[in-house]
Amino acid sequence: AQTRQQGYRWKRRSSPRWNRDSTASENAGEAKLVIEYTRSDLEERLEAVRIEAEKYQDDQTMSQTSRYATAEYVRNLWDRELNLIYSSIHKEMDESAAEALRREEVEWIRKRDLEADKASAKSNSTPSQSIEYVRTSASVTMDRCYELLENYGDYLEPEKN
């Protein structure tokens, strides 16, 4: 049965977990809720994250700890969206396209980390403690969100039904 909630398509799928000790009657009641996003859903989410991230611009008057926490928050916002976009696209691809995207994503992660390392080299702290590392990582991740939707968004349904 399909239902809609907040503009997203919700599907209820049964997902029995079979093992040697389980029976069909034990697994019959288990169900997993799967949310499927359309391209327009993801574009709307990106806009909402962009607006949220803009609220947390780097403020030089804040303490170093607060600036780092703020940068981490923004990076996590974009990272969550990237994972959602990637998984939404990946599950719609055939096996060879999905593998090509996976390899591309691994290469992108290397480039993101290299770019963040270069940015943190300008500061006196280690990369894991550098605000510039985190801010650059967030910025590159944001760009990747838009890039994935631009390059692979055709794998998704364009709009809500």
The model carries a pTM of 0.77
Residue 134, phi-psi category: left (phi > 0), alpha (psi -120 to 50), beta (remainder): alpha
pLDDT score, position 33: 77
Backbone angles phi, psi at 84, to 5 degrees: -65, -45
Q: Can you tell me the mean pLDDT for 104-108? A: 98
3-state secondary structure of 93: coil
pLDDT of 12 reads: 37
> C-alpha distances in angstroms, 145 versus 3, 5, 121, 131?
28, 24, 25, 21
**pLDDT of res. 30:** 67
24: pLDDT strictly greater than 80: no
Q: What is the mean pLDDT of residues 20-47?
A: 74
CA dihedral 82, 158, 92, 43 (to 10 degrees): 0
**Per-residue DSSP letter, 129:** G
Mean pLDDT confidence for 21-35: 59
The least confident of 10-14, 133-137, 156-160 is 10-14
Residues 6+ apart with CB under 8 A from 99: none
Model pLDDT for residues 59-101, shown as the tens digit of each residue: 889 988 899 999 999 999 999 999 999 999 999 999 999 999 9
Segment 126-152, tens digit of pLDDT: 555 689 999 999 999 999 999 999 999
Are the CB atoms for 116 and 140 separated by under 8 Å?
A: yes
End-to-end Cα separation, the chain, in angstroms: 15
